[in-house]
Structure 1
Amino acid sequence: MGPLIVTLEETKLWLRVEHSDEDALIESFIAAAEELVEGILRFPLSEFEVSIPEAIKYAVFFTVSKFYEERNELNMEEINSVLKALLFSYRKVDW
């Protein structure tokens, strides 16, 4: 996996987190969210050569927010359903 497509600062703004106590945790959530997005897209995010579409960034933000806010009661079925809806138009038929 290459560099993260969303920054820690952007993600903290999305989450409305102002402290730095959980920066490492949030960065790990970003990396995990991007892996999930790649799995649903069925191709690496690095294939976007020019810029990442906003819907894909929002998919990452959504996933990170679920990981962060619902980490003790995470519903992966719901996350996958929303991600598939957000990413449908970019998804490849197979790997």
Structure 2
Amino acid sequence: MPLPLNEVKQWLRVDHDDEDTILQSMIAAAEEYLRSALPSWIDPAKNPPAKILALSIIADMYENRDTIADVRYAAQLAGYRQTVQSLIAQLKYAYPHVETTRLPEAKAGVEYSATVRATGGTPPYTWQILGGELPPGLSLDPQTGGITGIPTVAGRYTVTMEAKDMDNRTA
């Protein structure tokens, strides 16, 4: 979810509409840069430190808009600033990051066991399913991230899981 244009304009103290198009492209470029710089997406619209980081990158691009033609390149340049690098490092380690992106294949009727792993944030983590579903017969242990059981139905399943750390930060 992109940062709202009105919040960016307020942050930059811009009170006119003539630069809305360039500001929207700066918002997109800053978020694209953050997606590549962080191990997992941390939505600036929902996360105050990520929001400050995105706004800092946008402010840097806005301040240098006359000297840089390509906003993607401007986002990369802003990303090299020491303050931005420091904020990125803090976000990388302060928030949990789900490391498991793919689980071993399960076979119907055969005992299954796998564990979803996370790093960062403040362990221990609690796990929940946000979307999709596990195959019938398998269940998630919310305390360990373990997925166990005997699948009863063959098929392709997609599941989106969330790790929440001790400080209620999520990945």
TM-score by length of structure 2 reads 0.44
Equivalent in the alignment of 2:38: 41
Q: Does 1:21 align with 2:51?
A: no
- Greater relative contact order (CA < 8 Å, ≥ 6 in sequence): 1
Q: Any conservation in 2 of the 1:59–1:86 contact (CA below 8 Å)? A: no
User: CA offset at residue 57 of structure 1?
Assistant: 0.6
Higher strand share: 2
Q: Structure 2: how far apart are the matches of 1:56 and 1:45? A: 7
Mark the runs of 5 or more structure 1 residues left unpaired by the alignment: none
Deviations 1:4-36 (A, max 9, x none): 1x1000000000000000001001000110111
CA RMSD of aligned residues (A): 2.8
Mark the runs of 5 or more structure 2 residues left unpaired by the alignment: 69-73, 102-171
Q: Percent identity?
A: 31
State the one-letter code of the partner of 1:30: I
Cα distance change on mapping 1:91 and 1:68 into 2, 3 Å:
farther
Task: Say which one has the larger Rg.
Answer: 2
Q: Any conservation in 2 of the 1:42–1:91 contact (CA below 8 Å)? A: no
- SS of 1:42's partner is coil
Higher helix share: 1
Q: Structure 2: how far apart are the matches of 1:15 and 1:67? A: 11
User: CA offset at residue 85 of structure 1?
Assistant: 3.7
Q: Structure 2: how far apart are the matches of 1:67 and 1:52? A: 22
User: CA offset at residue 53 of structure 1?
Assistant: 1.4
Q: Structure 2: how far apart are the matches of 1:20 and 1:53? A: 27
Moved over 6 A (4+): none
2:48 to 29, 54, 72: 54
